[in-house]
């Protein structure tokens, strides 16, 4: 399942806006209040009718607050009006649950006079999925999930985790629009299947799929499991500068808990929706995942790898994420099927040759970014170099020889920067001083 296009009309800050999506990863950038979260919320509302046809989970809906507010002055008074309707429209591709062929379909979610309706093929597609699943068909169900900025878990006490009897595949959609990760469902799944594996004395493929997904996306993690004796989730991890250790979830940092809860939840949903895929559940389950502020609580070193890790672990998923991090933006360089979408420019931006400083200045609009210490040293050296060149124009032979030696010493310090070194050499030759 891939969303190709979404159009908004009178939704929150957008009067009329259209966005086209890349197949794999879409990173939305823009200033605060530019509408990044609004785009994700609109997508959640639009995907709601599909989920509603297949499960009992609550789905988001449009309300009066989602209608765009129009402010204007009349006399000395400031007035605010709202249109009667907000519209969200989609174009999408998926596989037909009955014929298994790729299909294209579209639908519209319209809020008019306090009533929301959906028009198009989405209900038919959702109902077809529901019918074939209830007949026991091994059709592949798409994962749909939204992880908002409230997703971080603050555990005040140890969770009491209960195991559950067999349930519907559609339970994989329970709470999928809840902005927080549903740790209880994930931990219940892990605990249950650790017991099942022990009782049956055999590996449980979906359990391994979830554990492999967690270790594949968590920096420095080597293993993850539900410890039956301690009755809690543990992760075997080597944090830089510290010895390898087994840590419970409650003692992990916010960055680790944030990623573990989100990735674990995605893998758990894939395993519940498509248990017949076994250990391939995470890799083979398609779908749409929305992540607000994907860089939340992550160190820059981790930010450089997180998108690549997600796409490697869940390669069939289409992502829409927001960020303020230049490291996240730069991490997309060289990847296929991805794009950085600038809301202010209403289009994708190409930054394959930009440094972090270029991204901050040109893509994120920070007028004077703080330059690195190396950059500042290079500028200081260049200034000294120019002054020595001016002296050399009127220097005697002995003094000129000393000046050339000083120039050599200055330029040597940054000889690894080809462009910078070549520029100094050019200035030297222009002043009539060769390399001799």
Q: What is the pLDDT of residues 229-258, one digit of tens each?
A: 999 999 999 877 778 899 999 888 888 888
Q: What local confidence, expressed as pLDDT, does residue 157 receive? A: 58
Q: Roughly what angle, to the nearest 10 degrees, separates helices 254-273 and 205-217?
A: 150
Inter-residue contact 424 to 385 (CB < 8 Å):
yes
Inter-residue contact 23 to 16 (CB < 8 Å):
no
Inter-residue contact 93 to 5 (CB < 8 Å):
no
Inter-residue contact 411 to 385 (CB < 8 Å):
yes
**Range of lowest pLDDT (165-169, 236-240, 320-324):** 236-240
Q: Roughly what angle, to the nearest 10 degrees, separates helices 373-392 and 397-412?
A: 170
Of 168, 173, 97, 94, the closest CA to residue 131 belongs to 97
In whole angstroms, give the CA distance from residue 163 to residue 310.
Answer: 28
Q: What local confidence, expressed as pLDDT, does residue 267 receive? A: 97
State the pTM of this model: 0.83
Please state, for a pLDDT cut of 90, what percent of the chain lies above it. Answer: 53
Whether the predicted pLDDT of 124 surpasses 70: yes
For 283-301, the pLDDT digits (tens) are 999 999 999 999 988 888 8
Q: What local confidence, expressed as pLDDT, does residue 180 receive? A: 67
Inter-residue contact 70 to 13 (CB < 8 Å):
no
Residues in contact with 197: Cβ distance below 8 Å, sequence separation at least 6, in sequence order: 203, 204, 207
Q: How many CB atoms lie within 10 A of CB 196?
A: 13
Q: Scanning the structure block, which residue is given the tokens 């910078």?
A: 420
Q: What is the DSSP letter of 436?
A: -
In whole angstroms, give the CA distance from residue 359 to residue 64.
Answer: 37
Q: What local confidence, expressed as pLDDT, does residue 243 receive? A: 82
Whether the predicted pLDDT of 156 surpasses 60: no
Q: Is the dihedral of CA 238, 243, 246, 248 positive or negative?
A: negative
Q: Roughly what angle, to the nearest 10 degrees, separates helices 205-217 and 183-200?
A: 130
For 84-114, the pLDDT digits (tens) are 899 999 999 998 888 888 999 899 999 886 6
Whether the predicted pLDDT of 5 surpasses 90: yes
Give phi and psi for 319, each to the nearest 5: -110, 145
Of 310, 297, 292, 211, the closest CA to residue 258 belongs to 297
- Enter the tokens of residue 177: 């629009």
In whole angstroms, give the CA distance from residue 153 to residue 103.
Answer: 38
Q: How many CB atoms lie within 10 A of CB 144?
A: 27
Q: What local confidence, expressed as pLDDT, does residue 265 receive? A: 95
Q: What local confidence, expressed as pLDDT, does residue 400 receive? A: 64
Query: Can you give the C-alpha Rg of the chain in angstroms?
Result: 28
Whether the predicted pLDDT of 419 surpasses 60: yes
The pLDDT mean for the chain works out to: 87
- Enter the tokens of residue 144: 């749909």
For 197-228, the pLDDT digits (tens) are 999 999 999 999 999 999 999 888 999 999 99
Q: How many CB atoms lie within 10 A of CB 229?
A: 5
Whether the predicted pLDDT of 31 surpasses 70: yes
């Amino acid at each position: 399942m891939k969303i190709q296009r979404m159009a908004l009309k009178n939704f929150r800050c957008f009067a009329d806006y259209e966005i086209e999506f890349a197949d794999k990863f879409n990173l939305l950038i823009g200033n605060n209040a530019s509408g990044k979260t609004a785009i994700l919320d609109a997508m959640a509302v639009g995907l709601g009718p599909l989920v509603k046809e297949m499960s009992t989970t609550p789905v988001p809906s449009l309300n009066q607050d989602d209608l765009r507010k129009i402010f204007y002055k009349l006399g000395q008074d400031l007035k605010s009006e709202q249109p009667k309707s907000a519209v969200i429209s989609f174009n999408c591709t998926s596989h037909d649950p009955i014929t298994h062929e790729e299909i294209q379909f579209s639908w519209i979610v319209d809020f008019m006079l306090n009533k929301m309706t959906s028009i198009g093929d989405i209900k038919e597609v959702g109902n077809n999925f529901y019918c074939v699943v209830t007949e026991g068909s091994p059709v592949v169900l798409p994962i749909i999930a939204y992880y908002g900025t409230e997703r971080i878990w603050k555990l005040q006490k140890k969770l009491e985790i209960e195991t559950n009897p067999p349930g519907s595949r559609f339970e994989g959609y329970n709470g999928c629009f809840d902005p927080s990760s549903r740790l209880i469902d994930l931990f219940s799944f892990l605990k249950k299947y650790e017991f099942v594996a022990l009782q049956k004395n055999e590996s449980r493929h979906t359990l391994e799929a979830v554990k492999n997904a967690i270790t594949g996306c968590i920096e420095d993690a080597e293993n993850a499991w539900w410890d039956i004796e301690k009755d809690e989730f543990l992760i075997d991890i080597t944090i830089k500068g510290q010895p390898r250790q087994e840590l419970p979830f409650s003692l992990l940092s916010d960055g680790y808990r944030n990623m573990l809860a989100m990735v674990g939840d995605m893998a758990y949903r894939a395993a519940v929706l498509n248990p017949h895929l076994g250990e391939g559940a995470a890799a083979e389950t398609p779908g749409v995942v929305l992540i607000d502020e994907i860089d939340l609580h992550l160190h820059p070193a981790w930010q450089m790898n997180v998108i690549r890790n997600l796409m490697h672990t869940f390669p069939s998923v289409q992502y829409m994420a927001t960020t303020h991090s230049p490291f996240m933006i730069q991490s997309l360089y060289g990847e296929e099927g991805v794009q950085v979408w600038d809301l202010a420019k209403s289009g994708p931006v190409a930054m394959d040759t930009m440094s972090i400083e270029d991204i901050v200045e040109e893509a994120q609009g920070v007028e004077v970014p703080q330059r690195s210490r190396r950059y500042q040293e290079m500028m200081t050296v260049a200034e000294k170099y120019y002054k020595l060149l001016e002296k050399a124009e009127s220097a005697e032979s002995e003094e000129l020889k000393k000046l050339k030696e000083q120039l050599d010493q200055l330029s040597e310090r940054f000889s690894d920067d080809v462009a910078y070194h070549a520029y100094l050499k050019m200035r030297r030759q222009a002043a009539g001083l060769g390399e001799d």
